[in-house]
């Protein structure tokens, strides 16, 4: 057996796990790893901030389905990953952060750039490790990759003391699958529960299928489509589930929840059966709990047993991988299941009426010379839909418009921060997505507030020659918070007005990218076309109306069927601000 340093062992472990790209930022605690990494054949992407490295790794993981890998130094390098770790873990994304640490003998002595990153990240990761010695490093790394990818995927941190990295040991990568006594994900559904689920599906008169992010993570999109078409089931998505069911399919209801579409929210509220797959019933989905899907029996398929009965009582729980759970249901249903087709036709007709009544309509109200942000998203969709783009977003109004007005027909095409809602996520996530799919059109839809939180990654994008396109929806304010202030805080716009901000065209040029601007409605299309015709990175700035609001909207603590601007009588009111 060849004796290697810990740094070399780590890199060999990465190769065994199929790692091709590592994101991160160097430092003294990890310099030995970088020394060997530079000649390893693996690609290292030098981001300009450690938080951005984690978001980039998440973008990479969300697009490929493979774990994203990050390498950072100790102290502030490690603490800068905290937001990214929390966001990835909440969104069930498999990423691994390897952080440098002071030598073992100095841990606990307030050494230079020492922090207890294992303690800090314990509540926000799926699991974390402190490497104890060079001899066991290979086993630990294999374990970490296994934990990150299996069951409900998540974020794992591995802390690497300097002397473990510089120490030497024989390299033996453990054969076979990692086995942990206390961690054994349950992937196959119980046959009796499958039978109960099928019985409810066949008896339902007003069913709705609710697909969350777990459908994409498990590769179950084809199974959701098959189940929906076999039983004529209308389908709604969570924000994280968008793309797991074709957005242009006639059975698609749109997104569910606080900014869900009218027909989706009403269908769930009036359903007699709700089948939730890979969705954790987030508060932004359910609204007021005691009013959520109150007439419905609930079937829930989730690989994470802690998600069952967590917020919503479930009539038929299936603790299983989404793909395996759906496969079992489809097998038991057979090709021509017997269900009440007349009742289903009436149900779909009712949904079609709701769809007409609550159609998205932003209308060019107010100043006819101003751009409505919804129109930007619509135009972007029309001009790119046949190019199969990957869309990333930051967080805020533009994120919701990207969920409402851009239709996603395939999984892993909509990359957003759902659970934690991280401003500054979109640009580095686009970076990671473009690294993963160099041939794809990758567009970051950003707000003028969010984009500045990680704007330094334009340097990385330019240096790596990544043709990322950025659409900045510039309304001069923190739009979502301002919307709440308008509706619920007497129009007191405290600390949400940003002003004109930087000149994004000149800023893009300063970074070495191209910048284009649209300030009038007729300039939107040409600006997008100019960006698409440019082979390199482009920042598109759209000067939009500040008054535009995201509708529908459910106020906090309200029934999701009670949507603004639709009153209790469900009469259509003004839309779009």
Q: Which residues are annotated as catalytic? A: 50, 112-113, 162, 480
Classify residue 219 as left (phi > 0), alpha (psi -120 to 50) or beta: left
Task: Say which residue the tokens 């704007």 belong to.
Answer: 455
Pairing of strands 207-211, 252-255: unpaired
Query: Of 491, 537, 486, whose CA–CA distance to 510 is shortest?
Result: 537
CA distances from 487 to 421, 490, 527 (A): 21, 7, 33
> d(Cα 363, Cα 381) in Å, to the nearest integer?
18
Alpha helices in 150-254 (DSSP H): 162-166, 191-203, 213-217, 221-231
Using CA atoms in the order 176, 178, 180, 184, what is the torsion angle rounded to 10 degrees? -90
Determine how many CB atoms are found less than 10 A away from the CB of residue 443: 28
- CA dist 124 and 403 (Å) reads 26
Residue 569, C-beta contacts closer than 8 angstroms, at least 6 positions apart: none
Contact by Cβ (8 Å): 102, 162 = yes
Q: Per the structure block, which two tokens stand in for 507?
A: 């800023």
Contact indicator for 73, 49 with CB cutoff of 8 Å: no
For residue 31, with 0-12 CB atoms within 10 Å meaning exposed, 13-18 middle and 19 or more buried, which class applies? middle
CB 208 within 8 A of CB 305: no
Q: Residue 60 corresponds to which tokens in the numbers above?
A: 């990479």
Helix ranges, 91-237 (H) = 117-121, 137-149, 162-166, 191-203, 213-217, 221-231
């Amino acid at each position: 057996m060849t004796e290697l340093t810990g740094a070399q062992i780590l890199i060999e472990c990465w190769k065994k796990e199929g790692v091709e790209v590592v994101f991160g930022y160097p430092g003294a605690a990890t310099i030995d790893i970088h020394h060997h990494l530079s000649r390893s054949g693996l690609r290292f992407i030098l981001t300009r901030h450690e938080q951005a490295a984690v978001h980039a790794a998440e973008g990479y993981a969300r697009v490929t389905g493979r774990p994203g890998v990050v390498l950072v130094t100790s102290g502030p390098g490690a603490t800068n990953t905290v937001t990214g770790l929390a966001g990835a873990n909440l969104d069930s994304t498999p990423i691994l952060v390897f952080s440098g640490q002071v030598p073992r003998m100095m841990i606990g002595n307030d050494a230079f750039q020492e922090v207890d990153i294992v303690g800090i990240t314990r509540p926000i990761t799926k699991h974390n490790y402190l490497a104890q010695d060079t001899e066991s490093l290979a086993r630990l790394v294999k374990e970490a990759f296994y934990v990150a990818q299996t069951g409900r995927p998540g974020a794992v941190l591995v802390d690497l003391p300097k002397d473990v990295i510089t120490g030497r040991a024989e390299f033996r990568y453990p054969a076979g699958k990692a086995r942990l006594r206390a961690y054994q994900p349950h992937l196959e559904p119980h046959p009796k529960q499958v039978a109960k689920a099928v019985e409810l599906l066949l008896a339902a008169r007003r069913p709705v299928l609710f697909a969350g992010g777990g459908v994409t993570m498990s590769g179950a999109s084809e199974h959701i489509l098959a189940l929906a078409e076999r039983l004529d089931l209308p389908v709604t998505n969570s924000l994280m589930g968008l793309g797991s069911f074709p957005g242009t399919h006639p059975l698609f209801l749109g997104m569910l929840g606080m900014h869900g579409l009218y027909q989706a929210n009403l269908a769930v509220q009036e359903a007699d059966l709700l089948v939730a797959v890979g969705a954790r019933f987030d508060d932004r989905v359910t609204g007021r709990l005691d009013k959520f899907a109150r007439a419905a029996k609930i079937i829930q398929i989730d690989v994470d047993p802690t998600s069952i009965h967590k917020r919503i009582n479930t009539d038929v729980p299936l603790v299983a991988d989404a793909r395996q759970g759906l496969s079992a249901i489809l097998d038991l249903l057979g090709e021509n299941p017997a269900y009440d087709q007349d009742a289903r036709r009436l149900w779909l007709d009712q949904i079609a009426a709701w769809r007409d009544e609550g159609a998205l309509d932003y209308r060019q109200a107010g100043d006819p010379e101003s751009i409505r942000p919804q129109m930007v998203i619509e135009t972007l969709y029309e001009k790119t839909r046949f190019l199969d783009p990957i869309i990333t977003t930051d967080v805020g109004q533009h994120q919701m418009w990207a969920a409402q007005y851009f239709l996603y027909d395939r999984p892993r095409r909509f990359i957003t921060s759902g659970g934690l809602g991280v401003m500054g996520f979109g640009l580095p996530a686009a970076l990671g997505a473009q690294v993963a799919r160099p041939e794809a059109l990758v567009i970051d839809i950003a707000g003028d507030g969010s984009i500045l939180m990680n704007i330094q990654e334009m340097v990385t994008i330019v240096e790596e020659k990544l043709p990322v396109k950025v659409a900045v929806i510039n309304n001069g304010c923190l739009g979502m918070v301002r919307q709440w202030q308008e509706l619920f805080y007497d129009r007191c716009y405290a600390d949400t007005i940003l002003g004109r901000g930087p000149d994004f065209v000149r800023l893009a040029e300063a970074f070495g990218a191209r910048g284009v601007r649209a300030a009038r409605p007729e300039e939107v299309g040409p600006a997008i076309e100019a960006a698409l015709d440019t082979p390199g990175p482009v920042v598109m700035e759209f000067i939009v109306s500040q008054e535009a609001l995201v509708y529908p909207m459910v106020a906090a603590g309200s029934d999701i069927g009670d949507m603004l601007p639709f009153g209790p009588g469900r009469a259509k009111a003004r839309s779009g601000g």
